[in-house]
Amino acid sequence: MIQSIKFFCFAYLLLRVIAACGEPQSLVGHALDVRIDPERGTIAVRDRLDLPEAVGSWDFFLHRGLAPQIVGGTGTLTRIGVREHLEHFRLEPKGSTPIELSYAGSIRHGLEDIGEGMGRARKSSRGLISEDGVVLDGLSGWYPRAPDALQYFDLRVRLPRGWLAVSQGAGPEVSKGDDGVSVHWHEPRPQDDIYLIAAPFARYAKPTPNGEAQVYLRSSDPDLAERYLEATERYLSLYSRLIGPYPYAKFALVENFWDTGLGMPSFTLLGPRVIRLPFILYTSYPHEVLHNWWGNGVYVDYETGNWSEGLTAYLADHLLAEQRGRGAEYRRDSLRAYADYVREANDFPLRAFRGRHGSASQAVGYGKTLMVLHMLRRNLGDEKFVASLRRFYREHLFQTASFDDLRQAMEKESGLELASFFRHWTERTGAPELALTDVRVEQATDGQVLRGRLEQIQAEDPFPLRVPLVVHLEDGSILEHRVPLSDRSAAFELKLPLAPIRVDVDPQFDLFRILAPGETSTTLSALFGSERGLILLPADAPAGLAEGYRQLAKAWREGSPGWEIARDADLKTLPEGRPVWLLGWSNRFLGDLAPDKADFQLDAKRHLLRLPEGEYQGADFSLAMVRRREGQPVGWVASPTASALPGLARKLPHYGKYSYLVFQGEAPINRVKGQWPARDSSLAVWLGDRRPKLTTPPRRPLTAVLK
């Protein structure tokens, strides 16, 4: 399963326990006959095991209290101990007849909240059989599993009438009987887990050349289903062409009964709210489909670093942005997330990434990984980069693979030696910080020469870089050059056919690095990423609203204990040297938002905000924005009604990449989102008197290799 860190940490723990038992990774077959009683929360299973030949003993985990017994074949079964909700057993088969186990009992764990930083939490269960539905994976212990084993399976599930079960692989074959339904799934190729999801689903399907598209909804909605079937067909086709054949018989969207965003082999389990958000079809959904190549097709060797999230984000989220001409923007946002959320104390090398458990680990495990992949693509060229990914997929499908395997595929396709590059970017923390100095234009006999110096000014050792330099010439043409910079500093010299207007260092954000001042505007992530700060409540607000603001402040502090809450009336001036949230129209420090007249206008008396997008009356809209004041971010949230505040508290932490936001209603619904315009950066130098508006055209997206 992709993205569920709670489960992951637990898996990791178990894996280490098992590894200590000295068992090598093995392939185990299961023929599972399952009966589920949702009302009582119980499961009854017969499992015929196909163990590796000549296995002397096999250690596995099963949910507590299922009391497994050998009912076929001969052997001994010993209970070793208990670990949280799981029991550890050792099976020693005797003779050649396959062992068949029988067990039964209840698996019913409620939802637990998992904090993910300021104002962010999600729910997870260790395994749940209930009237609302069934969600079981290997860590719930519903089938006997050694966490480092791979398994293939044949699964028959008997359920009450009207119910359907979903698992990975091929299916479902459904047969109806007097006492309920029987649903059959099977997957003959090695899987790193077996999932069992069930509910009274409405099922939709559509055959496609790359496998069947399926949709399972908890209430019938043909229009919604149709949109997902169509999107599934489109993304299966895109990634089959880009990387290699889709590895499963079907891909299914499955609606969960709480909000999740989980990618399993050949299906995704999304929450009821999430699947109805229109943008999901273009954001999370392709990401989950692509995980069938990365993570659920080629498996991750977690001990040496999870490369799959960054690669999936690069080829889904980033690629789709690139197709809209917004690749550079996406990369800049990734760099800003790293700057805002990651500190020395929570930074880690890519080889230590296991899974996301908040914004900082996401900025490294997803964001830095995708920037490193982007640098590799720039070094290899699009064709060889794609050829490397195809080779990596072909050679490691249904096996675990590491960053080293990825490196070898790239070396084979490109002929480049990449060991040093991978060492620096996957084994070190930190990021390079660039400076552009000594820039001058000199006349030469046959034109002009641009000279200057690039430096790496971070405290850590230099990183291996090839720094893009872009020169805008007076006729509107653009010259791009890449300067190798593996040491502290490198001089450059460029012959120019015409007079230059401006030189920019890495204007398309092709390098993983610390952004220079002026390259990016302040956004809410500067506040949500800060470990400490101050939230100021408005003492003068009406009672209901004041209580609403207090609840919002408490909700945000829950995920970030380094934040304090105080009343504006108890302070004479804003504290310096730390971030501040101002709450409410009546907050007496509103004047400290330091309005730059060019960006917005705030009329506190009339509750009126003027943005580039228009005018917003505080009586109708909830507003949020962030400015910088003496280097520190100052944020502001104001709402006309207390009933919109719980929604704002929940939603705003997900809008970290915006500088200002306008919401409407009690839900509340986002109406406007934007970033303040960036200022001139220290990595750009004007070379003449003219200051025209200059832009660098976007590059062709990676999918251009398919043409």
Q: Measured from the CB atom, is 210 or 362 closer to Zn ion?
A: 362
Distance CA 309, CA 329 (A): 19
Residue entry with tokens 């190798």: 484
Closer to Zn ion by CB, 256 or 659: give it.
256
Please say which residue, 289 or 470, places its beta carbon nearer to Zn ion.
Answer: 289
Instruction: Using CB under 5 A, count the residues that bind Zn ion.
Output: 3
CA distances from 184 to 49, 132, 173, 591, 605 (A): 17, 21, 5, 65, 66
Q: Both tokens of residue 438?
A: 């000594």
Per-residue binding letters, 69-88, with Zn ion (x by CB under 5 A): --------------------
Minimum CB distance to Zn ion, residue 362 (Å): 10
Q: In the complex with Zn ion, which residue's Cβ is closer, 338 or 621?
A: 338
Tell me the residue length of the chain: 707
Residue 509, phi-psi category: left (phi > 0), alpha (psi -120 to 50), beta (remainder): left
DSSP state of 138: G
Cis peptide before 188 (omega within 30 of 0): no
Q: Which is nearer to Zn ion, 4 or 191 (CB)?
A: 4
Q: Which is nearer to Zn ion, 311 or 623 (CB)?
A: 311
CA nearest neighbour of 2 among 192, 133, 273: 192
Q: Is the peptide bond before 692 cis (omega within 30 degrees of 0)?
A: no
Q: Within 607-666, which residues bind Zn ion (CB under 5 A)?
A: none
392 in Cβ contact with 298 (< 8 Å): yes
CB of 37 vs Zn ion, minimal distance in Å? 34
Binding mask 312-341 for Zn ion (x = CB under 5 A): x-----------------------------
* 256-315 binders of Zn ion (CB under 5 A): 309, 312
Token readout for 188 is 């003959």
Q: How far is the CB of 204 from Zn ion (least distance, A)?
A: 24
Shortest Cβ distance from residue 312 to Zn ion (Å)?
5
Q: Which two tokens mark 47? A: 């499992």
Minimum CB–partner distance for residue 294 and Zn ion (Å): 8
For residue 652, the minimal CB distance to Zn ion (Å) is 23
The answer to whether the beta carbons of residues 149 and 25 sit under 8 Å apart is: yes
CB of 519 to Zn ion, least distance (A): 27
Smallest separation (angstroms) from Zn ion to the CB of 288:
7
Residue closer to Zn ion by CB (options 192, 309) is 309
**Residue with Cβ nearer Zn ion (309 or 322):** 309
Instruction: Give the Å distances, CA to CA, from 289 to 286, 373, 665.
Output: 5, 20, 34
- Closer by beta carbon to Zn ion, 142 or else 307: 307
Amino acid at 584: G
Q: Compose the 463-502 pattern: x for residues touching Zn ion by CB under 5 A, - for all others.
A: ----------------------------------------
Torsions phi, psi of 76, nearest 5?
Answer: -120, 150
User: Please, what is the minimum distance in Å from the beta carbon of residue 425 to Zn ion?
Assistant: 20
The b-or-e profile of 93-129 (16+ CB within 10 A means b, else e) is beeeeebbbbbbbebebeeeeeebbbbbebebbbbbb
> What's the rounded Cα separation, in Å, for the pair 704 and 565?
52
Phi-psi region of 284 (alpha: psi -120 to 50; beta: other; left: phi over 0): alpha
> Using CB under 5 A as the criterion, which residues of the chain lie in contact with Zn ion when the complex forms?
2, 309, 312
